[in-house]
Amino acid sequence: MASLNILGGGAAQGLVASLAPKFKHLTGFDIAGEFGAVGAMAEKLRNGKPADLVILTAPIVAKIADENWADPATIADVGLVETAMAVRADDAKVSVADGAGLRAALLAADAIFVPDTTNSTAGIHVAKVLQKLGVADEVAARLKIYPNGATAMRHLADSDALRPIGCTQATEIISTPGVKLSGSLPSGYELATMYTSAVTTRAASAKQAQVLIGLLTAADQRELRLRAGFL
């Protein structure tokens, strides 16, 4: 069975999965590949991992296009994704209306589930927020760091901690059973990241990759993007 190979940020996984049936109907192709921390996905492309399409943050797509790993003529924005707070599905939402509320929520949590703090968009941002709030050292032992946001959220869902919370891309929270969106990060600590798609320069299925880009960005798929967590 033919497959389209994607290297994508974890933020895009839920949206791509929701479009897979329509994509297969149009092309006969399944969707394969890997989703994870955007920095790690870019490195996999540079190291020769086969991919027809990338869906990564806009600056990374621009950089790999400059490096001739992606075709600049095919670059298309998919949408903005917020970094947000998560709790287990049955837990009460935490109040993070301002910096003081966010600081209190982090200090009250006995486990904080986050993605890779060096390679993932949300994880890098979380590390900066902890420093800005002055709590990085205090909560360091409570951080539960995973390779990507989806994995972090699955572990949050299964956590037996008393007061666990998570922080990653809203799309990864929405698409993970057992957790729910608790709220956006407050003003001064927020992050909205543009995710962008492009066909790779070594694509074996460039035509099919363009079809998926069309689905990801189509005006008639706006409601699907919103439900998946894209702004």
What does the alpha-carbon distance between residue 8 and residue 205 come to, in Å, rounded to a whole number?
Answer: 16
pLDDT in tens, 38-91: 999 999 999 999 999 999 999 999 999 999 999 999 999 999 999 999 999 999
Residues 15 and 34 in one domain: yes
Cα–Cα dist 62/56, whole Å:
10
Is 27 part of any domain?
A: yes
Note the pLDDT of residue 95.
Answer: 84
pLDDT of residue 104: 95
> What's the pLDDT at 231?
87
Q: Containing domain of residue 76, as a range?
A: 3-80+194-228
Tens digits of residue pLDDT in 139-163: 999 999 999 999 999 999 999 999 9
User: Looking at residues 24-44, what average pLDDT do you find?
Assistant: 94
Both 147 and 85 in one domain: the answer is yes
Statement to judge: residues 72 and 85 lie in one domain: no
One domain for residues 126 and 144:
yes
- The pLDDT score that the predictor gives to residue 158 is 98
Inside any domain, residue 189: no
Question: Does 134 lie in the same domain as 153?
Answer: yes
**Same domain? 54 vs 118:** no
Contacts of 32 (CB under 8 A, 6+ apart): 3, 4, 5, 6
Q: What DSSP character marks residue 93?
A: P
Domain count, the chain: 2
Does a structural domain hold residue 110?
Answer: yes
Do 146 and 59 sit in the same domain of this protein? no
Q: What letter would DSSP give residue 31?
A: E
Residue 180 CB contacts under 8 Å (≥ 6 apart), including other chains? 86, 87, 88, 89, 93, 173
Mean pLDDT of 158-174: 96
Q: Which residues contact 128 (CB under 8 A, 6 or more apart)?
A: none
Same domain, 13 and 42: yes
Residues near 17 by Cβ (< 8 Å), separated by ≥ 6?
Answer: 31, 175
State whether 144 and 52 are in the same domain.
no
Instruction: Write phi, then psi, for 191 (nearest 5 degrees).
Output: -150, 125
Q: Is residue 216 part of a domain?
A: yes
Q: Could you give the CA distance from residue 156 to residue 141 in angstroms, rounded to a whole number?
A: 16
Torsion on CA atoms 49, 55, 57, 59, rounded to nearest 10: 70
Flag whether pLDDT at 1 surpasses 80: no
Give the separation between CA 147 and CA 29, rounded to whole angstroms: 28
Q: Are residues 57 and 35 in the same domain?
A: yes
Q: Measured between alpha carbons, how far is 87 from 133 in angstroms, rounded to an integer?
A: 20
Q: Which of 6, 10, 2 is nearest to 121 (CA)?
A: 10
Q: Given phi > 0 = left and psi -120 to 50 = alpha, else beta, which region is 191?
A: beta
Q: What is the phi/psi pair of residue 11, to 5°? A: -60, -25
Give the confidence band of 138 by pLDDT, cuts at 50, 70, 90. Answer: very high
